[in-house]
């Protein structure tokens, strides 16, 4: 069974570099992180639409904790307050918000509609007020807050936590069986036209709620992402590149017509691999053999990437006047080691088949290549949390080298919300708050509980779910070993 040293044991820059060199892993890296307002990560991003105050971005993260009618709860509000006090100046969507009920990934996902509009406006306001309280009365002048709009598609579970109600773009040879999808699950063209209208309506409401941009989500195996690999789908919404991106183009055109001042953004999985499953000793293995043709940005082997189409996609974004792009990869459902590299797998996962630093380096390298080819795009990178203490060192170097414009933070802000503020102020990192990628924030919702950082956040540590979670994790570890 492969094993990898915990990043926390790589105590010095030399240890870290030696480990990278030993594994043939290439990562941009600065030995020292610049402190204070002159630091690379503290630099504002200036653009025609206004300034974004620094180079940290909070990635969208849902908590499975909204009300069943799609409104935020106190837990949701606490998370958004943490985003506001983080010090990051770009808030990429807060969390996935469904454009309608049947597209919710769980019965507690937020939904954008007339009834929830006021609650989602108040959620944004809370984040902004928290930001002002921590960073000054005018601190929101260079804070950009958007909302991520989603339709969960294949991974919809709108009514019961354990009941998949998939709606798909096409029949998939491996994933259909995992979610129980058949012919009836495949969207008709007319249904897709209506879904486009629902995205447009939700975007219009998001603008009324005060959000500066909406992210038309195209990642992680959800519907927008799946459309990009609808090679086999006949008709206007599939087949060639123009067909597979018609969904995005129609949504973008529709939003422009009704909300011309609303900025558009896209979070996209820039490559995808095979779905994985536990193999011998629980280590992840691909669930099929090459060739694999259902991966957007894949090289056909199911285990490598080819940026030809993702680059074409970036060109399309430029043509659509979409400047904000957030890169990510794969899906947390079927290849989580690529999407959110972790030392410990979630309970529906498998042991890492590669050093998680390889997964981090892969996303950073592919993002840098797209940024190099499309310098005018404003690019946010993802999957930095596994770097732990070395996150600021790598992030700074990536921005300095022009490999991305913003460093996106996911899990790290669940355990350590004020990391950006500490880095920018030149304060030493608080080690006890550093995310160690235990995956409890993924395992909890996979087992019907709200998400949160149960191991490190004192607020979640004392919740009753923690005990249940420990039992589930112990059983999962035994199952993987056995
Ligand atoms: C609990 C949890 C919830 C997430 N929810 C979303 C989401 O709503 N939308 C989205 O695009 N990504 C979501 N993600 C993915 C993160 O935005 C991010 O891509 C991923 O965690 C990798 O970044 P990291 O290494 O900083 O954690 C979620 C991740 C976690 C751990
Ligand atoms: S539960 Fe906490 S430590 Fe574990 S991955 Fe999530 S944020 Fe990180």
- Is residue 453 included in any domain, yes or no? no
- Is residue 370 included in any domain, yes or no? yes
SS3 content of the chain, % helix, strand, coil (to 5): 40, 10, 45
Which of 91, 56, 24 lies closest to 362 in space, CA to CA? 24
215 CA: nearest ligand 1 atom? 11
Ligand 2 centre to CA of 465 (Å) is 15
Identify the three-state secondary structure at position 45.
strand
- pLDDT for residue 92 is more than 70: yes
- Residue 451 and residue 76 in contact, taking contact as beta carbons nearer than 8 Å: no
Name the band, by pLDDT with cuts 50, 70 and 90, for residue 476. confident
For residue 233, give the CATH number of its domain: 3.20.20.70
- 200 sits in which H/E element: helix 189-208
Q: Is 345 exposed, middle or buried (0-12, 13-18, 19+ CB in 10 A)?
A: buried
- CA angle at 296 for the pair 294 and 300, rounded to the nearest 5°: 60
With a 6 A CB cut-off, is 90 part of the ligand 1 pocket? no
Give the tens place of pLDDT for each residue, 303-362: 999 999 999 999 999 999 999 999 999 999 999 999 999 999 998 899 999 999 999 999
> What integer pLDDT is reported at residue 36 of this predicted model?
87
- pLDDT for residue 102 is more than 90: yes
> What integer pLDDT is reported at residue 169 of this predicted model?
98
Residues 359-378, buried b or exposed e (16+ Cβ, 10 A)?
A: bbbbbbebbbbbbeebeebb
CB-based pocket (< 6 A), ligand 2 = 411, 414-415, 435-441, 453-456
Classify strands 378-381 and 324-328 as parallel, antiparallel or unpaired. parallel
- pLDDT for residue 481 is more than 80: no
- Is residue 466 included in any domain, yes or no? no
The whole-number average pLDDT for the span 33-50 is 94
Neighbours of 23 (CB within 10 A): 15
Q: What is the DSSP string of 334-402?
A: T-HHHHS--SS--TTS-B-SS-HHHHHHHHHHHHHHHHHH-TTSEEEE---GGGGGGHHHHHHHHHHTT
Report yes or no on whether pTM surpasses 0.95. yes
**Domain with 316 in it:** 29-437
Name the band, by pLDDT with cuts 50, 70 and 90, for residue 26. very high
- Residue 264 and residue 49 in contact, taking contact as beta carbons nearer than 8 Å: no
> What integer pLDDT is reported at residue 482 of this predicted model?
64
342 CA: nearest ligand 2 atom? 5
> What integer pLDDT is reported at residue 478 of this predicted model?
80
> What integer pLDDT is reported at residue 125 of this predicted model?
98
Question: For residue 267, which ligand has an atom nearest its CA?
Answer: 1
- Is residue 414 included in any domain, yes or no? yes
- Residue 406 and residue 45 in contact, taking contact as beta carbons nearer than 8 Å: yes
Question: For residue 367, which ligand has an atom nearest its CA?
Answer: 1
Q: CA distances (Å), 384 to each of 5, 45, 155, 392, in order?
A: 17, 20, 25, 9
Beta strands in 122-163 (DSSP E): 144-150
- pLDDT for residue 101 is more than 70: yes
With a 6 A CB cut-off, is 441 part of the ligand 1 pocket? yes
Give the tens place of pLDDT for each residue, 110-147: 999 999 999 999 999 999 999 999 999 999 999 999 99
Give the tens place of pLDDT for each residue, 181-191: 999 999 999 99
- Is residue 95 included in any domain, yes or no? yes
With a 6 A CB cut-off, is 442 part of the ligand 1 pocket? yes
- Is residue 347 included in any domain, yes or no? yes
Give the tens place of pLDDT for each residue, 271-282: 999 999 999 999
Positive or negative, the CA dihedral 48, 269, 410, 262 is: positive
- pLDDT for residue 480 is more than 80: no
> What integer pLDDT is reported at residue 54 of this predicted model?
98
- pLDDT for residue 7 is more than 90: yes
Name the band, by pLDDT with cuts 50, 70 and 90, for residue 106. very high
Inter-residue long-range contacts of 7-15, CB under 8 Å, 24+ positions, other chains counted: 7/343, 7/357, 7/386, 7/387, 7/388, 7/389, 7/390, 8/388, 8/389, 8/434, 8/436, 10/390, 13/393
With a 6 A CB cut-off, is 62 part of the ligand 1 pocket? yes
Ligand 2 centre to CA of 461 (Å) is 12
- Greatest pairwise CA separation for the chain in angstroms: 58
- Is residue 408 included in any domain, yes or no? yes
With a 6 A CB cut-off, is 206 part of the ligand 1 pocket? no
- Is residue 472 included in any domain, yes or no? no
The whole-number average pLDDT for the span 207-211 is 98
Q: By alpha-carbon position, which residue is closest to atom 16 of ligand 1?
A: 410
Structural domains in the chain (count): 1
- pLDDT for residue 2 is more than 80: no
């Amino acid at each position: 069974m492969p094993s990898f040293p915990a990043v926390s044991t790589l105590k010095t820059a030399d240890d870290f570099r030696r480990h990278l060199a030993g594994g043939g892993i290439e990562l941009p890296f600065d030995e020292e992180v610049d402190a204070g307002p002159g630091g690379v990560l503290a630099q504002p991003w200036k653009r025609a639409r206004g300034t974004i105050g620094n180079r940290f971005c909070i990635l969208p993260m849902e908590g499975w904790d909204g009300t069943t009618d799609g409104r935020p709860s106190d837990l949701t509000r606490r998370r958004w307050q943490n985003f506001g006090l983080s010090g990051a100046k770009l808030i990429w969507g807060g969390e996935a918000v469904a454009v309608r009920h049947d597209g919710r990934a769980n019965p507690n996902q937020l939904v954008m509609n007339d009834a929830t509009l006021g609650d989602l406006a108040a959620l944004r306001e809370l984040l902004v007020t928290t930001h002002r309280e921590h960073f000054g009365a005018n601190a929101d002048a260079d804070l950009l807050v958007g909302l991520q709009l989603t339709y969960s598609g294949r991974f919809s579970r709108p009514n019961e936590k354990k009941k998949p109600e998939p709606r798909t773009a096409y029949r998939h040879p491996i994933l259909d069986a995992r979610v129980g999808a058949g012919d009836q699950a495949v969207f008709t063209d007319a249904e897709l036209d209506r879904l486009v209208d629902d995205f447009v309506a939700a975007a219009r409401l998001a603008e009324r709620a005060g959000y500066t941009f909406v992210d038309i989500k195209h990642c992680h195996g959800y519907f927008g992402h799946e459309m990009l690999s609808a090679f086999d789908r006949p008709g206007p919404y599939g087949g060639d590149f123009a067909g597979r991106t018609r969904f995005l183009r129609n949504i973008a055109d529709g939003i422009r017509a009704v909300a011309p001042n609303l900025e558009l953004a896209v979070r996209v999985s820039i490559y995808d691999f095979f779905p994985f499953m536990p193999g011998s000793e629980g280590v992840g293995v691909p669930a099929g053999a090459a060739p694999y043709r259902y991966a957007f940005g894949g090289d056909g082997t199911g285990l490598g990437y080819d940026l030809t189409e993702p680059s074409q996609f970036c060109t399309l974004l430029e043509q659509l006047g979409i400047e904000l792009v957030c890169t990510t990869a794969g899906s947390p459902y079927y290849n989580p080691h690529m999407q959110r590299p972790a030392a410990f797998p979630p309970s529906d996962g498998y042991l890492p088949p590669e050093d998680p630093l390889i997964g981090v380096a892969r996303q950073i390298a592919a993002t840098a290549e797209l940024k190099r080819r499309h310098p005018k795009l404003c690019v946010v990178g993802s999957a930095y949390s596994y770097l732990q203490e070395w996150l600021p060192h790598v992030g700074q170097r990536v921005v300095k080298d022009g490999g991305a414009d913003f460093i996106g933070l996911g899990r790290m802000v669940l355990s350590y919300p004020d990391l950006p503020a500490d880095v920018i102020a030149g304060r030493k990192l608080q080690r006890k708050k550093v995310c160690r990628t235990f995956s409890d924030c993924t395992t909890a919702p996979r087992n019907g509980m709200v998400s949160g950082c149960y191991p490190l956040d004192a607020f979640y540590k004392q919740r009753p779910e923690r005990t249940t979670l420990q039992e589930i994790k112990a059983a999962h570890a035994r199952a993987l070993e056995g």
